[in-house]
Chain A
Amino acid sequence: MNRCAVVGIGQTRHAQKRTDVSIAGLCREAALRALEDAELTFRDIDAVVLGKAPDMFEGIMMPELYLADALGAVGKPMIRVHTAGSVGGSTALVAAHLVQAGVRKRVLAVAFEKQSESDAMWALSPKLPFQPPLMAGAGGYFAPIIRAYMKRSGAPDEVGMLVAVKDRLNALKNPYAHLQMPDITLDTVRASPMLWDPIRYLETCPSSDGACAVVLTDEDGGRRAARKPAWLWGAAMRSEPTMFSGRNLVDPRAGRDCAADLYAQAGITNPRQEIDVAELYVPFSWFEPMWLENLGFAEQNQGWRLTADGVTALDGDLPINPSGGVMSSNPIGASGLLRFAEAALQVRGLAGAHQVDGAKVAMGHAYGGGSQYFAMWIVGSEPR
């Protein structure tokens, strides 16, 4: 398998409504920034991979067709990925696959969502068998899973609030982040309305318009990169069914299997020690401790202790979501790619005010569907 490097990263300013740009304009904002970072132009790109969550969010069927022009794809191969909420991560992986297979040399991966074009909550309220049709968005689906985790682990109520505050304070250091809440405290989170018990308003992600773009190259491109590249050490995806009797929704096996595959590729035996920083897909605050366990950073039912002890803070031993994460910006289709891109920014040393000192190995993580689709990568400051 060929080596793959991340040589360019771009993202938009994320906001509740980006009425100043069209959908194409939003995607171009990210793509042009990624190309500028790589000191490349559309002409240098061999293939374009576009990812986004359901087409119904914007009301355009297969929008890659209309976006071909805006993303410089005319005359080139263009692929459109959709793997539910993990799609941003899958987009990066499909692009990386092209480079790793030796089929293309330079690939542009772009993911976006312009949530203000519709009300995504209803697209996220599908009727599931054996369940009352009262899902009311993703929160309705995930709240019982969070309750189960709280009960199993005995974690104090406050852990979710700690994540909510930490991620929003991190976002203050990220000029692209949607939510900018300098005054947020545990008290304001506690006082915010209960949306889906136990998920409070300030413990949930926002709805954002935004896009992210990444330029991936082969080894030669990485060696000649304009700025320090990030090197791909491992890439993995896993899926499991939405529901069956006995399924562990708190700690899904697909996530564990995906991480195990990833660590094997990256030569990592102790993720807690060997990974410097991780950008995890945390749309509801409690998913931080849940994923810490699922990904092997903590023993079962112990993940919350890392959060409570400040290990996952920006100045902690294992910073999680220094960018502010999904809790601060959630253009759904782009959210996974943002995690992957932020991980790469960290090992390139280009994360600005939310840079983790000395980060050499970073993880990007995305999940989707009913905690059933996983996409992950590990990037390093040096090739492996």
Chain B
Amino acid sequence: MSARREVAIVSYAQTSFAPHTKLNDAELVMEAVTAALERAQLPRKQIGFCVSGSSDYLTGMPFSFVGALDAVGAWPPIQESHVEMDGAWALYEAWVRLLHGDIDTALVYAFGRSSLGDLQDVLVAQLDPYYLAPLGVDPNSLAALQARALLDTGRASERDFAEVATRCKRTAGGAPLDAPYVVSPLRAHDCPPVNDGAAAIVLAAGDRARALCKRPAWIRGIDHRIEAHSLGARDLTRSSSTTLAAVEAGVHTAPIEIAELHAPYSHQELIVKEALQLGDGVRINPSGGALAANPLMVAGLARIGEAAQQILDDNARRTLGHATSGPCLQQNLVCVMEASS
């Protein structure tokens, strides 16, 4: 394999991740995309490849990504693709496309309005339609099964969960252990909020990245892996796909300073942190992570964007962004970024 082309994140932008937005999908995307392009000072016409991530099940209509494309302005016609996944996987597709060498820039965006429906109902449709979805088990209950399994190993306690929640949600006085359970052993502070939002990232290769940005966040490694869907087919207290993706992405070749982990539930941060073998010196989720704001389909891309921003802002030299998808951390993506090329 020949030496890979160097690809970097040169700008990141997001909308506010509010509990409910009055904007439609295209308006949300417009805000994020325009801000990301302005930060990179990249005219729309110079985007080499465009790829997005979203889910029709949030908008509640088929082909919802088609209308959102209006925010990009696909005229004259553009090279464009879409994944029905978190935008982090769209970023992966853009990275692959930039390695080809014929184009130098790519725009990645993701959008999702979780507030339009009841996620506890909507996400049931994500489960095995024959054996799991008919049981109607909601995402909080699935996460609770995982949290219980983790408690049973003795590797974590409910107090550990609360400490994660306190840090991410910046709860004054700490997350109370005498609060009632939402689903035992998870309390409200252990569960993600419902948010709407969009995020956008501009990628560029080689010298184009250096021209667009003073301090690009160079993607040193990026990989993603999936596990079995069935909860009984995996150890819910470990994230083997995260571990594998981390090795492939070269996480352990040098120390990570800041890690943005996509852990919608507090106990999941502990599982992912362990799977990544991150030491205690690593700053985890200074943004607050998905426990502070969890716009579905966007939150994973936002983790990578936040981790990249730390490099763009000269706060760190080596950061990690992580994204997850599916029930109980079924699928995971790891992206390692560095300041120097």
Contacts and interface: CB of A to CB of B under 8 A. Distances in A.
A76 B226 CA distance: 6
Interface in A74-122: 74-84, 90, 93-94, 97-98, 100-103
Contact of A77 (B1, B102, B225, B330): B225
Interface stretch (A225-233, A235-243, A298-306, A336-344): A235-243
Given A77-B224, A79-B85, A79-B89, A59 B56 contact: no
Contacts, number: 173
B228 A69 contact: yes
B84 A82 contact: yes
B78 A75 contact: no
A6 B181 CA distance: 54
Contact of B125 (A61, A90, A252): A61
A11 B63 CA distance: 25
A68 B229 CA distance: 7
Contact of A124 (B55, B62, B67, B127): B62
Contact of A240 (B77, B83, B226, B227): B77
A130 interface: no
A65 B75 contact: no
A351 B332 CA distance: 39
A73 B326 CA distance: 14
Nearest to A68: B226
B43 interface: no
Interface string B262-288: 000000000000000000000000000
Identify the interface centre among B84, B127, B230: most chain A CB within 10 Å of its CB.
B84
Contacts of A93: 81
B179 interface: no
A60 B125 contact: yes
A123 B62 contact: yes
Contacts of B128: 66
Interface stretch (B13-21, B93-101, B150-158, B184-192): B93-101
Contacts of B126: 60-62, 65-66
Contact of A81 (B2, B77, B83, B96): B83
Interface in A331-384: 369, 372-373
B81 A65 contact: no
A54 interface: yes
A98 B233 CA distance: 29
A98 B223 CA distance: 12
Given A58-B129, A60-B129, A74-B228, A80 B85 contact: yes
B262 to A, nearest CB: 15
Contacts of A98: 96
A76 B56 contact: no
Contacts of B80: 83, 237-239, 373
Interface in B102-153: 102, 122-123, 125-130, 132-133
Identify the interface centre among B62, B76, B125, B241: most chain A CB within 10 Å of its CB.
B62
B57 interface: yes
B66 interface: yes
Contacts of A101: 96-97, 99-100
A104 B225 CA distance: 13
B237 interface: no
Given A54-B62, A75-B225, A78-B331, A100 B100 contact: yes
Contacts of A94: 81, 93
Nearest to A255: B77
B230 A69 contact: yes
A57 B61 CA distance: 11
A113 to B, nearest CB: 13
13 contacts: A53-B62, A65-B327, A65-B330, A66-B132, A68-B330, A77-B226, A79-B83, A84-B66, A237-B81, A239-B80, A240-B74, A240-B75, A240-B78
Given A55-B62, A55-B84, A60-B126, 5 more contacts: A68-B228, A69-B229, A77-B223, A238-B80, A239-B77
Give the 6 A-B CB pairs with smallest separation, nearest first: A54-B62, A254-B77, A101-B99, A239-B80, A82-B84, A61-B57
